[in-house]
Amino acid sequence: MADYRDTELGQQTVYPTAYDPALLYPIARSKGRSEIGLAGALSFSGHDLWTAYELSWLQPGGLPQVAIAEISVPADSPNIIESKSFKLYLNSLNQQVVAGQFELQQLLAADLSRAAGAPVAVTVYPLEEYAALRPIGEPHGFCIDHQAITIDSYQRGQLAPQAAAGELVTELLYSHLLRTNCPVTDQPDWASIYIAYTGPKLDREALLRYLVSYRSHQDFHEQCIEAITVDLINHCRPQQLTVTGRYTRRGGLDINPQRSVGSPISLNCRQVRQ
């Protein structure tokens, strides 16, 4: 596991009382990617979709405003943004006067792009608009969780190689049993994971065992989803693949990494735990 003891993560928290973009703490993606043998050109594309549910600022005149923001950080950006620092940064806006929603989007995009080292897309939604845009539900697919299997290991295992020949299928498989852990605090991170692919049919029992094996694994959300994607690419040889992790929120933020081979398949819904 990558060592993050040389960072400021996990230190005592001082909550901000004024807007401060310096609170954003970038972490080089290369630090975690080296652990799974990723170097040079990526074998996938994708982004990390953050949802900020606790977004508030002051309009001119001092009346507080609230909204929900979606922030898309490209997977090829040099850095991820540490989630607690992201929360503190958003809290620093609570007493900041901003002219309007458009100006807030511009401010967020500029600050977050600087931290990520690449252009970050930001959209701010009024609450009623977001509720209509992102309904809670499940996409059409098959949940692999209800299998009568015995599991006795919760350390990250290897995905068993799947048949390289045979029936080609196009399907969406998902599981609500993914749990990973923060590499700094060891706090559990809960997620549903969606695997949409075209290729040789996956062994659902082997896939479930593999996903559950992350239960004691320590790494950031983005890097866990990348490790799963790389294993699926290497062991299953799909023609097309999209892996989406929808993590439950912490501190008003959820992180939803998506990695794809070929054209990405987007999920236009929130998981019920979000």
CB–CB of 158/207 below 8 Å? no
- Specify whether the backbone of 189 is left (phi greater than 0), alpha (psi in -120 to 50) or beta: beta
Give 189's strand partners. Answer: 180
Which amino acids are annotated catalytic?
182, 189
Residue 167 three-state SS: coil
> What is the C-alpha to C-alpha distance for residues 79 and 82, in angstroms, rounded to an integer?
9
CA atoms of 248 and 157, how far apart (whole Å) = 23
* Cβ-contact 51, 68 below 8 angstroms: yes
CA distance 137 to 134: 9
Q: Which residues contact 184 (CB under 8 A, 6 or more apart)?
A: 4, 7, 9, 10
